[in-house]
Amino acid sequence: MTATASPTSPAPTRTPLSATAIRELTMPAMLIAIWILFAVLSPAFLSPRNLSMLMIELSVTATLAVGVLLVLLPGHTDLSVGAGAGLLGGIASVLIFKHSWPAPAALALSLSVGVALYCGMGWFIVKNRIQAFIITLGGMLAFKGAFWLVIQSTTIPVVRGGEQNLYSALTTFYLPPTVGLALAAGVIAALAVLAIRSRKRRQSVGAHVPSFEEAYLKTFVAGQAILLVVLVCNQYQGVPLAFLILCAVAAVVHVLTQHTPFGRYLYAIGGNEEAAVVSGVPTKKVVIVAFTLLGSIVAITGFMATAYAGASTTTVGDLMELDAIAACVIGGTSLKGGRGTVLGALFGALIMASLLNGMTLLAVSPELKFIVRGVVLAFAVWMDVKLGRR
């Protein structure tokens, strides 16, 4: 006798995809579609030289995006980072070109100025309980005006007498191919060791441990990606110094946000600030530190953006804040706070940098570039709102 299903038995239902899963599928699909489109329209897009230039452009956008992530996590925002990058890059350029300062000293002083400015802005926001949007909007205008005053609305080179220095080397220096390969091997080995230690630590405390196959696959894919990047770069001039700076900044912020109490506080404040206060989280101090760290990253971004332009001009830093925020939101960071990762910000920055690089190759007019960037930003915010309801 054959068993039949009861007519009253509920039909099997499919579990809907989570917001995280949808975003993880959407981002790679967007990137692949963008790369295929530009590769078809301009074969030079996938050339080693252009991919190397894309890495430098990515380094500038992604470094700033990683910094902006620090203030988005606790539920704040910063509209001044583009103007701040221009100002801090301009200060270093003026010190080198007009006052004959050594490049390391000029960069160090400008970095200190950036830390002080953003620490003060963070203190003012939390002390007076004013929306960061308003204060940083005022900061954007003030920094832009100060920037133009510093460079006197002229073009200030990053070198003096045609001599290369540390400043210009930020986007013009490349690692020799053998050094790049050795560095890649070291990073891959470090990832493997960290994966093994993580498994042992989770086993020791009785936490859930992913299967060995899953852990091995993640490490293998990451290693292959690192090796591929180095091999592509070596076909041109090697791994750009700017990309190494991005990796260093991203690694530091990743450790801070994922493996320290400070990082847990950022997520707690963004998730529910009142609950964080009740739990004993020093919310004011944490937000001030987040803005202070952002100031140092804005300075580094300003140095790279100015060096890549070859000079400090009135247009350095224009709209960089929008690209950084869009990169974070595309990568899964919530504008309300409490959600976001460094890896997501990097992925979103890669999408933004690919769009700008491809449109430049196709000689797209500036007007259309603005439209595309605006549409991408609006789409990113819409996606954040829609997926946040799931």
Among residues 87, 65, 62, the alpha carbon closest in space to that of 78 is found at 65
Q: Is 174 helix (H, G, I), strand (E, B) or coil?
A: strand
What was the pLDDT predicted at 15? Answer: 46
Lowest mean pLDDT among 1-10, 197-206, 337-346: 1-10
Pairing between β-strand 156-157 and β-strand 311-312 as defined by DSSP bridges: antiparallel
- Pair 55, 346: CB distance under 8 Å: no
Q: For 44-95, give the DSSP string.
A: GGGSHHHHHHHHHHHHHHHHHHHHHHHHHTTT---S-HHHHHHHHHHHHHHH
> In degrees rounded to 5, what are phi and psi of residue 156?
-115, 115
What was the pLDDT predicted at 364? Answer: 87
Q: At what angle do helices 342-361 and 48-72 cross, to 10 degrees?
A: 140
Confidence at 23, pLDDT banded by 50, 70, 90:
low
Confidence at 5, pLDDT banded by 50, 70, 90:
very low
- Pair 323, 372: CB distance under 8 Å: no
Q: Is 102 helix (H, G, I), strand (E, B) or coil?
A: coil
- Pair 75, 337: CB distance under 8 Å: yes
Whole-angstrom distance, CA of residue 152 vs CA of residue 146 = 9
Ordered by start, the domain boundaries in the chain are 42-173+240-388, 174-239
Give the Å distances, CA to CA, from 109 to 50, 266, 345. 33, 28, 28
Assigned CATH topology for domain 42-173+240-388: ABC transporter involved in vitamin B12 uptake, BtuC (1.10.3470)
For residue 98, give the DSSP letter: T
What was the pLDDT predicted at 384? Answer: 67
Residue written as token pair 């090796």: 227
DSSP E strand stretches across the chain:
156-157, 311-312
Percent pLDDT > 90 in the chain is 47
What was the pLDDT predicted at 336? Answer: 86
Percent pLDDT > 70 in the chain is 91
Lowest mean pLDDT among 21-25, 165-169, 237-241, 261-265: 21-25
Is the pLDDT reported for residue 216 higher than 60? yes
What was the pLDDT predicted at 294? Answer: 96
Across the chain, what does the average pLDDT equal? 86
Is the pLDDT reported for residue 2 higher than 60? no
What was the pLDDT predicted at 9? Answer: 47
Among residues 261, 299, 48, the alpha carbon closest in space to that of 307 is found at 299
Provide the terminal-to-terminal Cα distance of the chain, rounded to the nearest Å: 45
Is the pLDDT reported for residue 20 higher than 70? no
74, amino acid identity? P
pLDDT digits (tens, 9 = 90+) for 29-57: 888 888 899 999 988 888 889 999 999 99
Is the pLDDT reported for residue 17 higher than 80? no
- Pair 379, 63: CB distance under 8 Å: no
Say what the pTM is. Answer: 0.88
Is the pLDDT reported for residue 203 higher than 80? no
Burial of 310 (0-12, 13-18, 19+ CB in 10 A): middle
Is the pLDDT reported for residue 66 higher than 90? yes
